[in-house]
Amino acid sequence: MKEALLLTKFKQWEYEEEQRLIVPLTQKVGSIYFKRFGDDLVLRSVYIGSRCEVTAAEIARAMSTIENEVTIIKTRPAFTRFEVLKNPSLGIEIVRPSRSSKSDRARTLK
């Protein structure tokens, strides 16, 4: 029953193409369990909600150990539909792997 609840998604959010992965959580920091990113779990993109006060630069700094390119996208609610959209006016941030030089670490596309 628990697994069915975790894998059930509201019909209106189908467009998101979200993938959910259920894994055993063995790593713990304080009271929070987590799974580290690695070959079996790769972070590809981060969507920042319209009311989020954390900047793309702060998120890029927090991802300093990520080994692959990650896209950071600012979003906004749709005006006439129940949907979250990419906000093209704010650009898209591309975070490069940490082994690249600092000047190449992040770039913004508009």
Distance CA 48, CA 85 (A): 11
Query: Per-residue pLDDT for 103 more than 50?
Result: no
pLDDT of residue 71: 85
Determine what percent of the chain is predicted with pLDDT higher than 70.
Answer: 79
pLDDT at residue 85 in the model:
85
User: Whole-angstrom Cα distance, residue 16 to residue 92?
Assistant: 18
In the chain, the amino acid numbered 11 is K
Residue 108 has pLDDT above 70, yes or no: no
Instruction: State the chain's mean pLDDT as an integer.
Output: 77
Q: With the CA atoms of 25, 28, 34 and 37 taken in that order, what torsion angle do they form, in degrees rounded to the nearest 10? A: -100
* Nearest-5° Cα angle at 85, 45 to 18: 50
Domain count, the chain: 1
Specify the DSSP class assigned to residue 31: T
Can you give the residue range of the structural domain that contains 89? 2-109
Residues 6+ apart with CB under 8 A from 22: 3, 6, 7
Residue listed under structure tokens 């981060």: 46
